[in-house]
């Protein structure tokens, strides 16, 4: 009879609530999202070892 093997899977990372200056997770890095008021933000890595939501600027129109 074969023995059952249990495999431990890592828990999925919880998504943070995007807000300008708020913390985000490594798994959200480079992700663009919107805050509750519609502001576009992206999760960026700071040299201090933290990840933070930063406001996305509007792209310049190409002529």
In the predicted model, is pLDDT for residue 6 greater than 90? no
Return the closest-CA partner of residue 35 out of 12, 50, 51, 54. 54
The pTM of the full predicted model, rounded to 2 decimals, is: 0.67
In the predicted model, is pLDDT for residue 3 greater than 50? yes
For residue 56, give every residue at least 6 positions away whose Cβ sits within 8 Å of its Cβ, in sequence order, or none.
32, 40, 41, 42
The whole-number pLDDT of residue 11 equals 46
* Buried b / exposed e along 34-47 (16+ C-beta atoms within 10 A): eeeeeeebbbeeee
Residue given tokens 């310049």 in the structure block: 60
Per-residue pLDDT band for 13 (boundaries 50, 70, 90) equals low
């Amino acid at each position: 009879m074969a023995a059952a093997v249990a495999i431990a899977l890592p828990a999925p990372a919880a998504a943070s609530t995007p807000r300008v200056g708020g913390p985000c997770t490594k798994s959200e890095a480079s992700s663009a999202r919107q805050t509750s008021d519609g502001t576009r933000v992206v999760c960026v890595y700071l040299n201090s070892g933290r990840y933070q939501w930063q406001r996305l600027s509007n792209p310049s129109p190409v002529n």
